[in-house]
Structure 1
Amino acid sequence: MVTLVVATTTDPASIGPAAALLAMPCWQPGPSFQGIRSFVNGEVRLLEHDNSIVKEDHLDKRWEEFTSEGVDEIIFLSKHKAVSNRPALTLHPIVLAYAVTLEATHHGPETNKPAMFVEIGSTEEYWGRKDAANVIALVDLTVFPSSIWLSLECNLALHLSVLVWEGLGLGGGTSVGNWSRKDGVWVGHLLSGYSLPMEDPTHSKVEINAQAIGGTWREAIKVSFEATKAAFPGGDILAHLDQKSFKSWQKNAITAYLGEQNIKIGKPADFC
């Protein structure tokens, strides 16, 4: 089983970390397929293409069909853009000059295996920085093999004791700040408020059955839960609701739906 690291030449915050990775020892040229170049290092496969990072769907399945190698997970190298314009490295706290944040789930490409984005933000000034690229390359080396694919050295402990899916309706945009500061807690999916569209009932103050609330919020919760369960088999998966992000009728509907799906709701002490 192998880990795919995917980079694109169209993004300086993607090809920079890829080049930093390839500058490290033991890389060898791998096979090319469908216009995609590959490099091999142990159980890691670095794929480099010239298209948008979010438009190359099902790279895991395509690689498996081409090479007969099974894929454990995929790491996408990409840029992060935010209105704050602050320098940021997502996922791994190393460089103090950068804020380290987690983002809510918000774009593709589609994959069949667990996947994550590791990004440099938040403006063109930082996307091409070699120091940031080197940090991302070092981070990538710490998340191999698959048993620690979401290893965050400080906030998310290397020793896995509890697996947590948190972040329903965190409000605002995709940046969700610092989450999961407790050792042994990992994050599966973070869903921001706009990812949980809910149709406002006529009488919002009345007790309402979850099935009476329209919108695709139920599907978003169910798919995210199932994906997290597949990524962390045997883990204790909890949901976290940001109380300030919901109106009472929204919170009641989500809580009722989580109960129907047998999804446990965690307390603040479970995460921080």
Structure 2
Amino acid sequence: MIVIVCSIQDPAGMNISKKLREKVDFTEAEPKEREKERWIGKIVKDDVLLVHRQEDILYCNDLEKVYTPELIIFASRHSSTTEEPTLTVHVPGNFGEAEYGGLPRTLSIAPSHYLKAALLNLFEIKNELGLEYEVSQEQTHHGPTPQCPSFFIEIGSSKKQWKDEAAGSAIAQTIINVLKMVNKDWGIAAGFGGGHYAPKFSKINLDTDMSVGHIASKYVAPLLDEHMLSQIVNKTLGKLKFFILDWKGLKSEKRLQIVEFAENNDVETLKTKDIITT
């Protein structure tokens, strides 16, 4: 079962949920513990559960135990001081302390193919609708940290955008499309270096046949030890084939550590500058 999670505390999540229920034939069901509302439907072959949780979405813990899903999609807001209109995706997880939900030094499982499909659809739909939004993938960050495949898909970056029904519709349609069209032949990768917003890795997802899941920016690179690098490999859905390094976006000693780890774990290393994007 696919579980789509929204928080009643989140106007963007409520916006996206409303648009999903307009597009999919959901049947309302009796809510369970910590749920305000729930609906059950089907998208192509997948049974889909849409839930409104009472707690803030960052603190929706242990959902994999509550629902036993094959995939969790968190539909939510994205906040930024710039308030730039943005549609984002990312994997949840904490490289360091759990300042915003989840568990410290714990990653969720990156469904790289779904992230790539989501980015491709967001980019196409926002162009079709003429939306003045940036589309990007962020580094892996914040909670919750379910130990099953999961990703966030978000409207940012202020109250104005969170309530924008056109943006909510774009996200809702992207979720529907993603569950219809994931390509399992993409080469699975993780990204290292650069900023929190990851334009180079977003471009790789948009323009190549590789799918990037976990991203560790230069800001969290000091936290990448054997334990965290092992999680990046082991907590990626499917066989992770590539570590892609933003070479200039990492200090030399960290590059050496990542490359050595990759060599010892049957992972090929590539540089972002050597990957052709448009």
Q: Do the aligned partners of 1:60 and 1:111 also contact (CA within 8 Å) in 2? A: yes
Other structure's SS at 2:235 match = helix
TM-score when normalising by structure 2: 0.77
Asked if 1:191 corresponds to 2:216, the answer is yes
Q: Where does residue 175 of structure 1 map in the other structure?
A: 197
Counterpart selection for 2:80 from 61, 79, 82: 82
1:160 Cα deviation (Å)?
3.6
- Structure showing greater radius of gyration is 1
Report the structure, 1 or 2, having the larger strand content: 2
Q: What displacement does 1:58 show? A: 1.9
2:143 corresponding residue in structure 1: 108
Partner residue, 1:33: 32
Distance in 1 of aligned mates of 2:240 and 2:253 = 27
TM value normalised by structure 1:
0.78
Q: Could you report, residue by residue, the CA deviation over 1:97-135 in whole angstroms, capped at 9, with x for unpaired residues?
A: 111000110111121210000000111221111111111
More helix by percentage: 2
Deviations 1:197-222 (A, max 9, x none): 2xxxxxxxxxxxxxxxxx55332221
Q: Which amino acid aligns with 1:86?
A: E
The answer to whether the aligner puts 1:45 opposite 2:69 as a matched pair is no
User: Where does the alignment leave 5 or more consecutive residues of structure 1 unmatched?
Assistant: 65-70, 149-158, 198-214
C-alpha distance in 1 between matches for 2:267 and 2:251: 21
What do you get for the CA RMSD once the two structures are aligned? 1.9
Are residues 119 and 25 of structure 1, via their aligned partners in 2, closer, same or farther at CA, if it must alter by over 3 Å? closer
- Given the superposition, is the C-alpha separation of residues 47 and 265 from structure 1 closer, same or farther in structure 2, using an over 3 Å criterion? same
Cα distance in structure 2, aligned partners of 1:41 and 1:35:
20
The residue type equivalent to 2:233 in the other structure is F
Amino acid at match of 1:193: K
Partner of 1:244: 248
Cα distance, 1:48 vs structure 2: 0.7
Pairwise mapping of residues 60-209 of structure 1 onto structure 2 (< 5 A)?
60-64=64-68, 71-90=69-88, 91=119, 92-93=122-123, 94-95=125-126, 96-144=131-179, 148=182, 159-170=183-194, 172=195, 174-177=196-199, 178-180=202-204, 181-197=206-222
Structure 2 unaligned runs (5+)? 89-118
Instruction: Give the SS at the match of 2:203.
Output: coil
What's the counterpart of residue 264 of structure 1? Answer: 268
Q: Which has the higher contact order (CA 8 A, sep 6+)?
A: 2
